[in-house]
């Protein structure tokens, strides 16, 4: 029997556009509503015979549409999709924060949702008081919190500051305490939004371990993240959402691939054009991908862009590639070297990413062309920030230098440096 | 194992069962608000003593001395203070509770719980202030050597009525506040007007006989008259007006809960 059963689920948001004012409006204030109504009445008086002088245009936005799925007890489900695909809305509907517009959900079991760490923390209260408060907000009973209190304090590593108001905590301590409470929830179903991307690396690892533990105990976990490595590590099944629809539901590795494919496809048929008076992007591609979007950590990857220069300029047109990690931060950027003044024509620029350089995970490549002038600073001709994506995977063979360790290895880069060990004395 | 069904467009039938199972959260939130209130302000408790005391002094001078209003045979400060007790309780609940949803916006958009417990906690905090004020009143009565009669045992009933009136208004206003943010600018004005149209600074016996029934449409008239009847002991009660007030308070609570429940569905979307 499934633990969560979703039928024809939909969630609609209504966004109003005030036509006369030409801006989006959501009647957030009484004044707006009054002036809006007054204007309507005024219009009516001025043109009493005009057909319904309605000033607003209502736009409907379906954040979720026709979702049907079932989740079995003990499943660990990763929910992936681009920003605005409806992931967070789905979590909110499942955790009853907001009501669905259509459809039906059956949930058999206690749900705890963790959409943010430290919900309800009060800065004036002490760490001890906040543990009780936050625990209750997350759905723990007082008896449960009491019996786990020591564990929570232990996990958070803030024992010394237990009676200090949390407003005096460093942000690291704050997050550790908040996560410690959340980590000791024992619901049948745990719903987690991207909250693990906080704290220092060591603490993150601890949290990941705890999450895995929760999953192994047979609890059902729904997990949203942009970090494909984390999703692949933690989850067994994956659901891909796109514009509110369920695009794929199955094995997590297939889901991650589907996600990358969809991303690349969208980029293949650019809706937007990237060009200026001087130059234009013709295309970008990755060479060396083993299957779909994957490249193993031991292989070389070539990034290529083609562009046309329309006219001779008094500067150097320098192609550059920007590499972003999955949470949007920069991995690095590099520009072509020794560029000279280029006459008009079609060009191809390539750069090679050596093997054993980038760590496992998903990367996004932005392609750009920048003109550097002699006198004035520079000008960006085009910059497609989301041109390409690829996923670096570790085949976990003998070359991986893992000594049998199977967990995630932190860091953006994972170079193979020269090591030497010599025996110095007995 | 509990089974939960969420269906579009249907009000959750388990809502009131939910309230029961979230009572611990309710108590903890009330405990938090009390703690914060008395931790944050150095004058914490003294402020909840001082404010009604100063109001009482001003009203005694303005209404009792300058306007020469009748005091129903008791010391004017006691007459005023007996009315200030429920009024402070009512206005504190409405002001704190009215903005409580907006103040807890981050919680509402991140966690589920029956939202009605948030404005309700405001009443618990006001209750603490109320209890402190009772002590002040006792001191005043000792000072003026006023002995209460057996009627004082009915005080909790009138307090209950004050709570019903306060919650009804609080539910309405807190829900409106979520949708219309500038409503909070209107709220202090409403409470201010309420203070002067309710019989706080004067006895409701000054209201002409033919208007008393209409005057009692304000639920706080019934509550304040009840407080004076129970505490002062020697005032006569205008019972038709009281029952009208009480009935209207209950109606207000019903409307408040209904409106709150209807608005509650979109709180997380608009807050």
pTM, full prediction: 0.73
B190 touches chain A (CB under 8 A): no
The alpha-carbon gap from A283 to the nearest alpha carbon of chain B, in Å, equals 40
Q: Cα separation of A185 and A397, whole Å? A: 37
What per-residue confidence (pLDDT) applies to A329? 75
Would B16 be classed as within a structural domain? Answer: no
A-contacting residues of B 63-82, CB under 8 Å? Answer: none
Integer CA distances (angstroms), B14 to A16, A103, B233, in order: 33, 18, 45
Average pLDDT over residues B193-201: 91
Task: With beta carbons less than 8 A apart as the criterion, state whether A71 and A9 touch.
Answer: no
Task: With beta carbons less than 8 A apart as the criterion, state whether A145 and A180 touch.
Answer: no
Q: How far is CA B98 from the centre of its chain?
A: 11
Would B245 be classed as within a structural domain? Answer: yes
Start-end of CATH 3.40.50.300 domains in chain A: 65-263
Q: Cα separation of A258 and A310, whole Å? A: 37
Report the residue of A25, A61, A99 to disrupt the B interface, i.e. the one with the largest count of B CBs within 10 Å: A99
Q: What is the pLDDT of residues B85-113, one digit of tens each?
A: 999 999 999 999 999 998 898 888 888 88
Q: Cα separation of A93 and A105, whole Å? A: 9
Q: What is the pLDDT of residues B127-183, one digit of tens each?
A: 988 998 999 999 999 998 888 888 889 999 999 999 999 999 999 999 999 888 888
CB contact under 8 A, B107 and A26: no
Which two three-digit tokens encode residue A117? 């760490």
CB contact under 8 A, A107 and B25: no
- Non-local (6+) Cβ contacts of A224 within 8 A are A78, A79, A80, A87, A88, A91, A192, A193, A194
CB contact under 8 A, A124 and B36: yes
Which two three-digit tokens encode residue B248? 């209207």
Contact residues on chain B for A102, CB-CB shorter than 8 A? 8
What residues make up the domain containing B86?
Answer: 22-270
Q: Cα separation of A158 and A169, whole Å? A: 9
**Which helix H or strand E contains A317, and what residues bound it?**
strand A315-325
The three-state secondary structure class of A165 is strand
Q: Cα separation of A321 and B101, whole Å? A: 47
Record: fold of A65-263: Rossmann fold (3.40.50)
Interface of chain A toward chain B, CB-CB under 8 angstroms: 10, 13, 26-31, 33, 92-93, 95-111, 113, 115-116, 119-120, 122, 124-125, 129, 132-133, 136-138, 141-142, 188
Number of domains in chain B: 1
- Class of CATH domain A272-398: mainly beta
Task: With beta carbons less than 8 A apart as the criterion, state whether B126 and B134 touch.
Answer: no
Would B64 be classed as within a structural domain? Answer: yes
What per-residue confidence (pLDDT) applies to A25? 44
Helix pair angle (A127-137, A142-156), 10° resolution:
130
Would B150 be classed as within a structural domain? Answer: yes
Tally Cβ neighbours within 10 Å of residue A388. Answer: 24
CB contact under 8 A, A115 and B270: no
CB contact under 8 A, A99 and B6: yes
Nearest to B180 among A29, A108, A129 (CB): A29
> What's the burial of A83, exposed, middle or buried (CB within 10 Å: 0-12/13-18/19+)?
exposed
- Non-local (6+) Cβ contacts of A276 within 8 A are A379, A381, A382
Nearest one of B234, B203, B222 to B71, comparing CA atoms: B203
Contact residues on chain B for A103, CB-CB shorter than 8 A? 7-8
Nearest to A137 among B4, B35, B111 (CB): B111
Q: Cα separation of A317 and B136, whole Å? A: 81
CB contact under 8 A, A93 and B35: no
A328: left (phi over 0), alpha (psi -120 to 50) or beta: left
Beta pairing class for A23-25 and A279-287: unpaired
Nearest CA in chain B to A110: B2
CB contact under 8 A, B112 and A103: no
Q: What is the pLDDT of residues A104-118, one digit of tens each?
A: 999 988 888 888 777
The alpha-carbon gap from A324 to the nearest alpha carbon of chain B, in Å, equals 29
CB contact under 8 A, A137 and B25: yes
Task: With beta carbons less than 8 A apart as the criterion, state whether B267 and B115 touch.
Answer: yes
Cβ contacts of B250-253, under 8 Å, gap ≥ 24 = B250/B164, B251/B168, B252/B164, B252/B165, B252/B168, B252/B169, B252/B172, B252/B219, B253/B164, B253/B165, B253/B167, B253/B168, B253/B171
CB contact under 8 A, A119 and B110: yes
Q: Cα separation of B108 and A204, whole Å? A: 27
Would B38 be classed as within a structural domain? Answer: yes
Please, what are the averages of pLDDT over each run of 10 residues along chain A (426 residues)? 89 68 51 69 64 59 91 89 84 89 89 81 89 88 90 89 90 83 84 68 70 76 80 84 89 79 58 79 87 83 93 90 80 91 91 92 88 84 83 84 80 91 92
The three-state secondary structure class of B145 is coil
- Non-local (6+) Cβ contacts of A217 within 8 A are none
- For residues A289-320, b (16+ Cβ closer than 10 Å) or e, as one string? beeebbbbbebebebbbbbebeeebebbbbbb
> What's the burial of B92, exposed, middle or buried (CB within 10 Å: 0-12/13-18/19+)?
buried
A-contacting residues of B 133-172, CB under 8 Å? Answer: none
CB contact under 8 A, B270 and A26: yes
What per-residue confidence (pLDDT) applies to A407? 72
B189 touches chain A (CB under 8 A): no
CB contact under 8 A, B24 and A142: yes
Would B262 be classed as within a structural domain? Answer: yes
Q: What are phi and psi of A73, to 5 degrees?
A: -60, 135
Averaged pLDDT of chain B: 87
Beta pairing class for B3-7 and A345-353: unpaired
Would B161 be classed as within a structural domain? Answer: yes
CB contact under 8 A, B6 and A136: no
Q: Cα separation of B58 and B54, whole Å? A: 6
B102 touches chain A (CB under 8 A): no
Nearest to B36 among A111, A113, A125 (CB): A125
CB contact under 8 A, A109 and B7: no
CB contact under 8 A, B28 and A138: no
The three-state secondary structure class of A286 is strand
ipTM of the complex: 0.82
What per-residue confidence (pLDDT) applies to A234? 79
The alpha-carbon gap from B113 to the nearest alpha carbon of chain A, in Å, equals 8
Would B96 be classed as within a structural domain? Answer: yes
What per-residue confidence (pLDDT) applies to A40? 65
């Amino acid at each position: 029997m499934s633990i969560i059963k979703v039928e024809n689920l939909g969630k609609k948001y209504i966004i109003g556009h005030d036509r006369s004012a030409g801006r989006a409006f959501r009647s957030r204030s009484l004044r707006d509503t009054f002036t809006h109504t007054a204007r309507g009445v005024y219009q009516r008086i001025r043109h009493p015979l005009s057909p319904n002088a309605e000033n607003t245009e209502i736009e409907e936005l379906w954040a979720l549409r026709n979702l049907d799925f079932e989740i079995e007890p003990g499943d660990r489900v990763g929910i992936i999709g681009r920003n605005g695909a409806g992931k967070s809305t789905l979590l909110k509907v499942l955790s009853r924060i907001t009501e669905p517009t259509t459809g039906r959900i059956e949930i058999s079991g206690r749900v705890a949702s963790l959409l943010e760490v430290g919900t309800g923390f009060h800065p004036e209260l002490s760490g001890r008081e906040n543990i009780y408060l936050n625990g209750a907000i997350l759905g723990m009973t007082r008896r449960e919190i009491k019996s786990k209190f020591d564990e929570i304090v232990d996990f958070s590593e803030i024992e010394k500051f237990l009676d200090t108001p949390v407003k005096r905590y460093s942000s690291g301590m704050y997050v550790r305490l908040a996560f410690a409470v959340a980590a000791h929830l024992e619901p049948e179903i745990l719903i987690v939004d991207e909250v693990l991307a906080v704290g220092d690396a060591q603490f993150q690892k601890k949290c990941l371990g705890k999450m895995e533990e929760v999953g192994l105990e047979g609890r059902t976990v729904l997990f949203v993240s942009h970090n494909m490595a984390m999703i692949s590590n933690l989850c067994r099944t994956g659901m891909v959402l796109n514009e509110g629809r369920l695009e794929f539901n199955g094995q997590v590795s297939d889901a991650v691939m589907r996600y990358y494919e969809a991303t690349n496809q969208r980029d293949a048929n650019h809706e937007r054009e990237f060009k200026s008076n001087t130059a234009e992007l013709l295309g970008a591609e990755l060479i060396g991908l083993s299957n779909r979007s994957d490249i193993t950590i031991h292989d070389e990857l070539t990034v290529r862009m083609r562009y046309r220069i329309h006219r001779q300029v008094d500067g150097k047109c320098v192609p550059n590639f920007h590499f972003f990690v999955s949470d949007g931060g920069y991995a690095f950027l590099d520009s072509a070297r020794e560029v000279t003044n280029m006459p008009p024509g079609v060009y191809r620029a390539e750069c090679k990413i050596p093997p054993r350089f980038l760590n496992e995970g998903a990367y996004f490549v932005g392609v750009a062309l920048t003109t550097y002038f002699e006198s004035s600073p520079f000008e960006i001709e085009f910059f497609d920030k989301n041109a390409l994506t690829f996923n670096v995977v570790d085949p976990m063979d003998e070359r991986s230098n893992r000594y049998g360790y199977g967990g995630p290895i932190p860091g953006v880069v994972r170079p193979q440096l020269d090591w030497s060990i010599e025996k110095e004395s007995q | 194992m509990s089974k939960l069904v969420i269906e579009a467009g249907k009000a959750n039938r388990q809502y009131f069962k939910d309230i029961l199972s979230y009572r611990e959260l309710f108590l903890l939130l009330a405990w938090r608000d009390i703690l914060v209130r008395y931790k944050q302000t150095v004058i914490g408790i003294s402020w909840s003593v001082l404010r009604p005391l100063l109001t009482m002094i001003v009203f005694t001078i303005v209404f009792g001395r300058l306007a020469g209003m009748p005091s129903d045979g008791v010391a004017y400060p006691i007459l005023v203070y007996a009315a200030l007790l429920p009024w402070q309780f009512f206005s504190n609940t409405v002001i704190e509770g009215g903005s409580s949803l907006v103040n807890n916006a981050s919680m509402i958009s991140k966690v589920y719980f029956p939202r009605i417990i948030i404005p309700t906690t405001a009443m618990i905090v006001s209750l603490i202030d109320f209890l402190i004020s009772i002590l002040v009143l006792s001191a005043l009565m000792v000072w003026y050597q006023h002995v209460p009669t057996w009627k004082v045992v009915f005080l909790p009933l009138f307090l209950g009525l004050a709570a019903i009136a306060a919650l009804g208004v609080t539910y309405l206003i807190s829900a409106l506040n979520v949708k219309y943010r500038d409503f909070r600018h209107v709220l202090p004005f409403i409470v201010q007007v309420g203070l002067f149209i309710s019989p706080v600074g004067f006895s409701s016996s000054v209201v002409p006989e033919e208007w008393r029934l209409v005057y009692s449409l304000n639920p706080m008239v019934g509550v304040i008259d009840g407080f004076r009847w129970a505490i002062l002991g020697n005032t006569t009660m205008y019972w038709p007006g009281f029952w009208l007030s009480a009935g209207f308070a209950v109606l207000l609570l019903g409307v408040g809960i209904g409106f709150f429940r209807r608005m509650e569905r979109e709180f997380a979307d608009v807050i």
